[in-house]
Structure 1
Amino acid sequence: MKTGMVPLTTIQLHSTDLNALQDELSRRKAEAPALFAGLPCLLSLADLPTDVAGLQQLVSLLRQHGLALIGVRSCPAELATELASLQLADFGQASRPPRSKPAEETPDKSTTDESGCRRAVKVHEGNVRSGQQLYFDGDLYIIGMVSPGAEVLATGDIHVLGVLRGKALAGIKGSPDAIVSCVHFDAQLVAIAGHYQLFENGHALTNQSVLVRLDDDQLVIKGAEK
C-alpha cells in the first residue's frame, strides 16, 4: 500500500430541492459532459439540513449524473451510520486550507500571493504525457508540453513554457488569485479555484500565448500584448 495526496472536488449544495438540483446538474453536465464523467468527488454536508432518506436521494441523484461520489465532509453524527450502506467514506470536518509555506529544501524558490503568504515553487523539466497527472502544493512551472489527456494541478499558479493541450487546474485549494499562463494555448480544460471552462471546440486564442485569471467568479482569457 502506498499513500499519496490526491486532489478531490468537493460539492457544496445550497439547497436540498431535488427538482432544482436535477435541473442545475443537467445544465452543468450539458456544458461540460467530460468533466462529469466519473469525476471523483466529496459531498459537503455542512449547514445542509437533511435526514437519512434525504441523504440517500442526494447521493443517488449525484451518481445518476455520472459523478463518482466517494465520501462526505462535515457529516452529522446522526447520519454517520448510514455512510457504509451508501459506500461513502467519512472525510471528517471541512476546514480552511492552511497557508502554504516555502519548501525547506528550496528556500530561495518561492513566490508571494495577495495575502502575503510565500508559496513554494516547482520547476518540471520535460513533457507531461497523456494519462499522467502532475500535482504541486505551490506554483508550478512546466518547461515542456502538457499533452492531451494529461493533467497539471497546483494550489498556486501554473505556467506552461510550451504547449498546453491537456488540463490545467490552478488554485485547487480555493485561491482565486491563482493564474494559468502558457506559450501556446490549446487546452482541453482550464480551471481556477473550482471555476472551469472546457474547450471542446477550440478557442479564438488557440496557439497563442495567453494568461487566464479569475474576475468576479468568471474565467478571463487574454492573449499576450504585442
Structure 2
Amino acid sequence: MKAIIIGATGATGQELVQQLLDNPDYSQVTVFVRRAVPLQHPKLTVEVIDFDRPQTWLHKVRGDVLFSCLGTTLKAAGSKAAQWKIDYQYQYDFANIARQNGVQRCVLVSSGYADSRSRFFYTQMKGQLEQDIMQLGFPQLLIFRPPSLIRPNTDRAGERWAIRVLNGLNKIGLLQSMKPMPTAVLASALIQAVKQKPLGTFILESAEIWALAK
C-alpha cells in the first residue's frame, strides 16, 4: 500500500513514519510537510508544501491511505484562529483533496472528549473536524481519540505534570481509561487499525487503541 501523511514532524507523526517505513505492507510513504526533514529512505518521498496554496500540490495527494496527524497547541499557534487553521482547516482541506483524488482510507488522530457541542474550544474544534470529515465519504474512516500522550523529550511543562498525576492515579486503580499513551503505541495502533478494521466509519477510544497496539 501507499501511505500519505500530514503531521509527520510531530511526535506521533515521527513514530508513524518510522513504523510505516519498517512495515512490509507499505511500499511507499509520502509525507507532506512545511519544512524539509532530514530523514531519507528508499520508500520515503518528502513533499515540502504551502498548505495555504493547495492548487500547487493537490495533484500529488495520491495513495491508498491518508494518516492525518497534524496539530498544534494554542500557545504555539498564538491564537485560537491560528490553531483552528492548523488543527481544523488544513486537515479538512487535505482530506477533502485526498478523497477527490480517490484515496479510499483515512485515519484521523482526533482527541479524547471531542464533541462539536463542547463548551471548550479544543474539543469543540476536534469534534467539528470529525463530523465534517465523516461527510467526505471515505469507504474506511478511522477516528482515533487517544488519551494524554507521552511524547519523547516533551518541553510542555503542563503535559509532563498531567502525565505524572495520571500515572500516580493509575497505580492506585483510578482513571484507567485516561492512562497516558506513548506516541509509539498510538502509531502502532493507527497502522493495525487499517489492517484489522473492515470498511466503514469507526471511532476508537482509549481502550480499543491500547488493544490494537498489542
TM-score w.r.t. length of structure 2: 0.29
Larger relative contact order (CA 8 Å, sep ≥ 6): 2
Q: Which has the higher strand share?
A: 1
Q: Look at both structures and tell me which one has the larger radius of gyration over its CA atoms.
A: 1
Q: Which has the higher helix share?
A: 2
